[in-house]
Chains A and B, each alone.
Chain A
Amino acid sequence: MRRMILRRAVQSLPVLFGITVVTFSMVHLVPGDPARALAGQRATPQILASIRHQLGIDKPLVAQYWHFISGLPSGKLGYSFLLHQSTDALVLARLPTTLFLVSYGVLIAIVLGVPLALVSAVRKETLLDHGIRSTLVVGLGLPSFWVGLLLIGFVALRLHWFPVGGAGAGFIGHLWHLFLPALTLALSFLAVLVRNLRASVIEVLDTDFVSLAVLKGISRLRVYTRHVLRNALIPAVTIIGLNLSYLLGASVVVESVFSVDGIGNTLVNAVLSRDYQLVQGLALVFGVLVLLISLTVDIIHAGLSPRGEVA
């Protein structure tokens, strides 16, 4: 087990290197002079030179890259010239909100998705199953920005059931304020979850131990909840693990719609206000986050599977 974790960690080192190269080169995609873009057209050569020096772009490329990565281990991710704050301080303050939102969304997706998948699989090829699957086709094409906006319009503004935006304070405040954003996130992922889960539940239903349980005279409900559900939850974890990168991406749009102060909304605002260093730092954080998550999912998987193998 320990050797497997070590091997998997070593395997992700080249990817980590790649992530730093990609995010480093991003700023060099900016057409023209980043200093001029920041200072405006009327900046004097002295001001431009001093900004270049502050950004570090007056040095050779290799030296710039070294400067970029040498600060990373100690958490130096750059500086936001517009928010007058270091990127690492911003990430530290706002990442928890994003992680809360994504976990909350996953939880809602499980609560809604697992029963739907079970019913759809147990009542396979009935009217109910067809109904659920047809609804899922619609669910697959729901733009999360539209769903979020409709929830704001009807549930928050008209019915006043939930707040319009923001993240709230404290755990209860988060649960309350982030319910609609988390629901939006869950709906964007529900169709994929139920489709895949339905397929794995059908597989479990066909196995010998389920037939045996039925033959032994155990009640249907008990078979479904104790035997089928438990075995279907493992693929559910896999599906969620595979889609966490997608969910993090979707959370960017959802945070923007509900003006939640997570790193996704910060990224959108940084992009809109051309805060290049902040964009760079946040893209790096997102990349490392996905890398860490997939590493964790692999390790959990190895721990769950009887032979401790890597999928």
Chain B
Amino acid sequence: MTAAVLPFLRGRERVSMLIGFVLLGLIVVAAVFASLICRYSPTALNPIAALQGPSAAHYFGTDQFGRDIFARTVYAARIDLIIAFSLVSTAFVIGTTLGAVAGWAGGLLDNVLMRIVDVALAFPFLVLVISIVGLRGPGLLSLYLAVSIVSWVFYARLVRSEVRQLWHAEYMLAAKASDYSTLRVLGRHLLPNVIIQPLVYASSDLVYALLLGASVSYLGLGVQPPTPEWGRMVQDGSTFIGAQWWLSFFPGAAIVLTAVAFSLIGDGLAALAREGSAQ
């Protein structure tokens, strides 16, 4: 993907997108090979070494149970990356499909779907997610369901308006006037043109999904202990923030680093889409 995309970008965007891919690559490699990188298990207790500051033995220090913060931070990348990617891909698939159908079919279906979108957008996103998670009971599945119930609307609205706009484009009129089957018109002519905007949106949405998953877990409603997760780790360290700052600092910094990687890639993709539509 990197090699395919980069030649089309110039200067600043090219550099920042490259940095983004390298950064994300490093994080993914660290997450996958966590057991090779870390000297300690993320859940191994060691009361004698509790609350030690960062050192050569424990790069990021230890928590109140003597668990190695570095190991926990690296292992947590797994769950946080999975949350971000699964939240975005679910929203992308459901939203793009429903938006395309609404834009294509029009009429009553379109009307009903867009009213649902209006209502979902009437709530602060986080409020709706927290409420649904809270009512279903905390946990990863609740978080996933709650976000999926709401987040597709952003994609649906985007794709619907794209379909509506393309509807009257000349090449679409030509495709419709020809003898091509509906499936071919949709798949070959409409889809490749409407998919770019939601893809660009999805790449920046990864940042939001990452922060959302961590925020909900921070509040104690998402990933449950003993599974290491960045947001939850920040929460667990919050009582020690005055003196043992490393408990909360490093997992939070890992979130920022991952978010920056997503942002840089997303900005690059957005620039690419702009150049594509300008030509």
Interface positions of A (Cβ within 8 A of B): 14-15, 18-19, 21-22, 26-27, 29-31, 130, 137-138, 140-146, 149-150, 152-154, 157-158, 245-246, 248-250, 252-253, 256-257, 267-268, 270-272, 274, 276, 279-280, 282-283, 286-287, 290-291
Please name the 10 residue pairs, one residue from A and one from B, whose CB atoms are nearest each other, closest first: A141-B259, A271-B134, A18-B119, A146-B252, A249-B126, A249-B124, A153-B241, A157-B242, A248-B124, A286-B127
Report the separation of the CA atoms of residues A246 and B126 in the bound assembly, to the nearest whole angstrom.
8
How many residues of chain B have a CB within 8 Å of chain A?
Answer: 50
Question: Of B31-39, B91-99, B214-222, which stretch is located at the interface?
Answer: B214-222
Q: Which residues of A contact B186 (CB under 8 A)?
A: none
Q: Which residues of A contact B119 (CB under 8 A)?
A: 15, 18-19, 21-22
Q: Which residues of B contact A (CB under 8 A)?
A: 12, 16, 115-116, 118-119, 121-128, 130-137, 207, 210-211, 214-215, 218-221, 231, 234-235, 238, 241-242, 245, 248-249, 252, 255-256, 258-260, 262-264, 267
Q: Is the interface of A mostly helix, strand, loop or mixed?
A: helix
Evaluate whether A249 and B127 lie within 8 angstroms (CB atoms) in the complex, with A141-B263, A158-B242 already known. Answer: yes
- Our pick among B134, B241, B258 for the contact of A279 (Cβ within 8 Å) is B134
Q: How far is the CB of A159 from chain B (nearest CB, A)?
A: 11
Is A283 touching B131 in the complex (CB atoms < 8 A)? yes
Q: Is the CB of A287 within 8 A of B122?
A: yes
Name 17 extra pairs, CB < 8 A, besides A30-B136, A143-B252, A271-B133: A14-B115, A30-B135, A31-B136, A137-B263, A137-B267, A141-B258, A143-B234, A145-B235, A149-B241, A153-B242, A154-B245, A245-B121, A246-B124, A253-B126, A279-B131, A287-B122, A290-B124
Chain B residues, CB < 8 A from A291: 122
State which of A141, A245, A290 has its C-beta within 8 Å of the C-beta of B255: A141
12 of the cross-chain contacts (CB-CB < 8 Å) are A15-B122, A26-B131, A27-B135, A140-B207, A144-B215, A157-B242, A252-B124, A252-B130, A256-B219, A267-B130, A267-B131, A279-B134
Which residue of B has the minimal Cβ distance to A245?
A: B124
